[in-house]
């Protein structure tokens, strides 16, 4: 037996760069399955995708050829059941397709006419003998075979039988003498939240915080923070991410703007985990900060979020303040320096004197057991999403083992990797198990940069890496947002919300917070080091002070258009202006709840300081339309409608309306 097989089947995808790990998708994702299938000579071949769902149901999908001459075949399938799917591709000699191709040429040329009719009739005889085919189909095939053999009928009468619609039967049930099955592959389908979601980050201590008359601060609590959930839900966000909620260390505590001289009212960075509880004893990763309330208060917060359709994502930061119980109980978990001190964290030029990084070398089993205990503890409190802080500074094998162990107990637990680092590590974290990843989106601002980045995450890494397009973070306030004004915030939100199924916003973005600490790419008066209560309602009452309404519109558009819930379907179109980005997301009607195609076009002026007038040129085939088709384009934000085709004029004013989100309206009501 040879490895190639009689009909070679090679280069199957979805696949990972390293076959030690399996590709993955999320529930409801439309996945392109592809393979190279060919044979010697000129006879036609076909390809069939054979899928077995986690529940054991097997389905067969006929694959279609991609670009001519490439021998690449594809079938797009919506994977609607979570768990491990098994699949392979069968390559076969397509006898009926070969006959139809040859017969059309020869009969039209008057060569071997009767011979070609007889070859076709004999093929149909074989198909008719297969009792697995429906009786009505076999009767029609019998009629066609008889017609082909009817020598009394003219060639002109019999010629249309070669193209008879009934022969479409062989698309789903081909006739083949030779076939080759590829090796079996698997793909893991995870719950939909692993791939689709709108995230909102806020600090519970800031929500409801107030300054007392003596200058001290009274922290917000889980109870006051729960009041903010209504506003978050009103904007359509379905995941609320909380920075660490644990006790904060006192030793080397940071003051405002990351200074080394904190005042008595400075609360410290939540990432300096480990500090005094209400009774003065030290608490760590399994405790809540006493200012925020109790564990019961946290559970009530989670329940309130759930009632609003929101999941809680909790930060998992594997580090410790000098006051963490780990430091006294497990000094071997940290790096001891020759002078007897413990090495604190650094990310040059940044220094984190209030944090000790964990060293995994001396007691990896003990650390693993403790972290697993912590994750299980928070799972019991209702948390099923963990945003992992700096996972690239911990061993890859540790994350592989931890995520596999947790997902074996609850496959619905989602881990987001906050790893702004080298591509190899970012991709490896995704391959070993992380369901989502932060990405370079934050720093991709020009038309060319965005086209390259979004193409890459939708095509090159989509089989294993799902980007979460956060527009800002407590640590990241890009120059684009610092100097772009409200237009920059509007454009970034528009692209993040429509270009990928998962996106995120850090609190304050909707208020256009754009003032940076001098010489840094982070906000001044950073919330990491101080309380920052915000008057969201007051800003919304003042025109031009809040983006909250627009963020709600974006999330409503996402909810209404299933095309935006897909990662792999982004297609770029051209414009005559280097600052006007154009892309579409199309979903065929066979994959939508209504059975109607869904197509969204985004046209964005990525220069937040200008008015742009230009023409955009659309590839109508990417929109599911025939060349030359006219259609009605409805702006989903303003409700305006225009008659569009393959080339269209647009005017995008950065100061009023820097982007269009257009729905391609189809049918008689368009």
What secondary structure does DSSP assign to 335-355, as a single string? PBPTTS-BPPEEETTEEETT-
407 is in an annotated binding site: no
Helix axes 548-560, 222-234, angle to 10 degrees: 60
CA distance 599 to 562: 9
CA distance 533 to 90: 61
Print burial letters for 400-411: b (CB count within 10 Å at least 16), e (below 16): bbbbeebbeeeb
Active-site residue 181, yes or no? no
CA distance 204 to 242: 7
What secondary structure does DSSP assign to 186-220, as a single string? EEEEE-GGGT-EEEEE--GGGTT-EE-TTSPEEPP
CA distance 422 to 426: 6
List 29, 311, 315, 418, catalytic entry: 418
List 389, 513, 527, 607, catalytic entry: 389
- Angle among Cα 57, 60, 64 to the nearest 5 degrees reads 150
Contact 456, 426 (CB under 8 A): no
User: Among 494, 651, 486, 650, which Cα is nearest to 585's?
Assistant: 494
Contact 412, 430 (CB under 8 A): no
362 is in an annotated binding site: no
Active-site residue 418, yes or no? yes
Residue in the block written with tokens 């090159």: 460
Helix axes 113-128, 95-109, angle to 10 degrees: 160
3-state secondary structure of 137: helix
Q: How many residues does the chain have?
A: 670
Helix axes 447-455, 479-499, angle to 10 degrees: 40
192 is written with which tokens?
A: 């939909």
| Sequence-distant (≥ 6) Cβ neighbours of residue 189 within 8 angstroms | 24, 25, 26, 27, 29, 54, 79, 81, 82, 83, 84, 85
Distance of CA 120 to the CA centre of its chain: 48
254 is in an annotated binding site: yes
380 is in an annotated binding site: no
Binding-site entries for alpha-maltose 1-phosphate: 254, 319, 354, 390, 528-529
Active-site positions read: 389, 418
Binding-site entries: 254, 319, 354, 390, 528-529
């Amino acid at each position: 037996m040879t490895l190639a097989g009689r009909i070679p089947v090679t280069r199957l995808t979805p696949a990972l760069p390293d076959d030690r790990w399996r590709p993955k998708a999320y529930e409801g994702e439309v996945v392109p399955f592809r393979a190279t299938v060919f044979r010697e000579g000129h006879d036609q071949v076909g390809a069939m995708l054979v899928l077995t769902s986690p529940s054991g149901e097997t389905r067969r999908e006929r694959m279609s050829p991609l670009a001519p001459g490439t021998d690449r075949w594809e079938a797009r399938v919506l994977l609607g059941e979570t768990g491990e799917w098994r699949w392979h591709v069968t390559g076969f000699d397509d006898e009926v397709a070969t006959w139809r191709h040859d017969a059309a040429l020869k009969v039209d040329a008057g060569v071997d006419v009767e011979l070609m009719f007889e070859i076709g009739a004999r093929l149909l005889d074989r198909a008719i003998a297969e009792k697995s085919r429906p009786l009505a189909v076999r009767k029609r095939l019998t009629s066609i075979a008889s017609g082909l053999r009817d020598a009394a009928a003219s060639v002109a009468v019999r010629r249309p039988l070669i193209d008879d619609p009934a022969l479409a039967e062989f698309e789903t049930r081909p006739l083949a003498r030779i076939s080759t099955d590829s090796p079996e592959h698997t793909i893991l389908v995870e719950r939909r939240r692993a791939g689709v979601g709108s995230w909102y980050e806020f600090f519970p201590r800031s929500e409801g915080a107030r300054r007392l008359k003596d200058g001290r601060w009274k922290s917000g609590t889980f109870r006051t923070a729960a009041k903010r959930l209504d506003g978050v839900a009103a904007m359509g966000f379905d995941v609320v991410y909380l920075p660490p909620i644990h006790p904060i260390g006192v030793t080397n505590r940071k003051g405002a703007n990351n200074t080394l001289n904190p005042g008595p009212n400075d609360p410290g960075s939540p990432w300096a985990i480990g500090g005094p509880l209400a009774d003065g004893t030290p608490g760590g990763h399994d405790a809540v900060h006493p200012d925020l309330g109790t564990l019961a208060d946290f559970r009530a917060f989670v329940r309130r979020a759930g009632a609003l359709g929101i999941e809680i994502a909790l930060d998992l930061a594997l580090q410790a303040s000098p006051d963490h119980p780990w430091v006294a109980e497990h000094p071997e978990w940290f790096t001891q320096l020759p002078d007897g001190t413990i090495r604190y964290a650094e990310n040059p030029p940044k220094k984190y004197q209030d944090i000790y990084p964990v060293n995994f070398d001396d007691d990896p089993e003990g650390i693993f057991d403790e972290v697993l205990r912590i994750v299980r503890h928070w799972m019991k409190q209702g948390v099923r999403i963990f945003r992992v802080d700096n996972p690239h500074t911990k061993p890859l094998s540790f994350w592989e083992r931890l995520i596999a162990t947790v997902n074996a107990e609850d496959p619905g637990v989602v881990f987001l990797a906050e790893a702004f680092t080298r591509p190899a590590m970012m991709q490896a974290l995704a391959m070993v198990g992380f369901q989502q990843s932060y990405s370079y989106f934050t720093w991709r601002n020009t038309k060319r940069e965005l086209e390259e980045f979004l193409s890459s995450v939708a095509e090159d890494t989509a089989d294993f890496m799902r980007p979460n397009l956060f527009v800002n973070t407590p640590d990241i306030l890009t120059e684009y947002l610092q100097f772009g004004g409200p237009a920059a915030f509007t454009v970034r939100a528009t692209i993040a919300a429509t270009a990928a199924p998962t996106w995120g916003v850090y609190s304050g973005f909707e208020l256009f917070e754009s003032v940076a600490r001098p010489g840094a790419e982070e906000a001044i008066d950073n919330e990491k080091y101080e309380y920052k209560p915000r008057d969201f309602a007051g800003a919304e009452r003042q025109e031009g002070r809040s983006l909250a309404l627009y963020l709600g519109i974006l999330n409503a558009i996402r909810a209404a258009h299933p095309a935006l819930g897909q990662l792999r379907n982004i297609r770029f179109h051209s414009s005559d202006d280097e600052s006007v980005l154009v892309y579409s997301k199309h979903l065929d009607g066979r994959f939508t709840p209504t059975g109607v195609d869904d197509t969204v076009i985004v046209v964005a002026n990525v220069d937040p300081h200008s008015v742009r007038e230009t023409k955009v040129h659309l590839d109508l085939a990417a929109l599911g339309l025939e060349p030359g088709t006219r259609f009605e384009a409805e702006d989903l934000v303003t409700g305006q409608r225009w008659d569009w085709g393959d080339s269209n004029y647009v005017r995008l004013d950065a100061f009023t309306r820097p982007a269009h989100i257009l729905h391609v309206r189809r049918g008689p009501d368009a």
